[in-house]
Amino acid sequence: MINQIQAIVWKEWREFFFQQSIKGKLQTIVLIAAIGVILPINKGPQWFNFSFFYGVAVIGPLIMAVTIVCDLFVGERERHTLETLLASRLSDKGIVLGKILFAVSYATCITILLLMLNVVALNVEYYKGTFLIFSFKSALILAAINFFSAFFTALVGIAITIGAKTVKQGQLTLTITLLALVLLPTILLRILPNGFRNTISHYYTSISSETIFLLASLGLVIIDLLILKMIFYRFKKLSYHL
C-alpha cells in the first residue's frame, strides 16, 4: 500500500510540474506573491503578532483546493487517463490516499513558501538591526493548523468534485461550498439572539486554548474519517461506471 501511495504522489507531482498550463502556474504565483509579500508589508513589523498571521496556514490549503483538487479525479476522467489508472495494479485505496497525500503536501509547500516570503519581505522592508521572524511557538501552531486544514480541505474538495462531469463544474461547486463554509458561521453568529451569543462567548473564554485545540482536533479527525469513507465509496462506485 505504501509503495502504491508513493507512486501516485510522484505521478501527481510530475504532472503538476510538466503538464499544468503556464496560465495556471502564473495565477498561483501572483496569488502567492500578493499574500506572501504585499499583505505583510502593509501590516508592518508587527505582522507576526497579528492573529490574521495564523491564517497563512489556512491560505495554503485554500489555494490547493482552488488550483488542483478538481483536477485530481475529474481532470483525469476528462483526459481519459483515469481508466488507465484503474486498469493498473494499484488498489482503489492506494489511488485515493496517494492523491490526498499529494494535495496535502502541495498545500504544505505553499504554506512554507508563504512564510518564507513573509520573513524575506518584512526584513527587506523593515530590517533595523534585528532580524524579524515568527517565534517557535507560532511555528508549532502554524504547523498544526496547516496539517488539519490541509487534510480537511483536500477531503472536502475531493468529496465535492469527484462526481462532477467537468473540471469547470467541479471548481464552481467547490468555490461556492468553500465560501459557504467560511461565511456561514459568521452569518449564524450575527442572527443568533444576544443571550445565546453571550453564552457561547462565556463558554469559549472559560476553557483553555489547549482544550479548544484538542476538542477541535478530535472533531476534525472524526469528520475527516467519515469523509474519507464516503470518498472510498464514491470512487469505487465511479470506477464501476468507467
227 pLDDT more than 90: yes
Q: Are 126 and 45 in contact (CB under 8 A)?
A: yes
The structural domains of the chain, with segments of one domain joined by +, span 2-240
Confidence at 242, pLDDT banded by 50, 70, 90: low
Please tell me the distance from the alpha carbon of residue 80 to that of residue 78, in angstroms, as a whole number.
5
The string of pLDDT tens digits covering residues 50-62 is: 777 777 788 778 7
What is the average pLDDT value for the chain, to the nearest integer? Answer: 82
Q: How are the residues of the chain apportioned to helix, strand and coil, as percentages rounded to the nearest 5?
A: 85, 0, 15
The string of pLDDT tens digits covering residues 4-15 is: 888 999 988 888
pTM score, whole prediction: 0.84
How high is the pLDDT of residue 203? 67
DSSP secondary structure, 160-217, as one string: HHTT-SSHHHHHHHHHHHHHHHHHHHHHHHHHS-HHHHHHHHHHHHHS-HHHHHHHHH
The string of pLDDT tens digits covering residues 22-76 is: 766 777 788 788 888 888 888 888 888 777 777 778 877 877 777 788 888 888 8
The string of pLDDT tens digits covering residues 87-105 is: 888 888 899 999 999 998 9
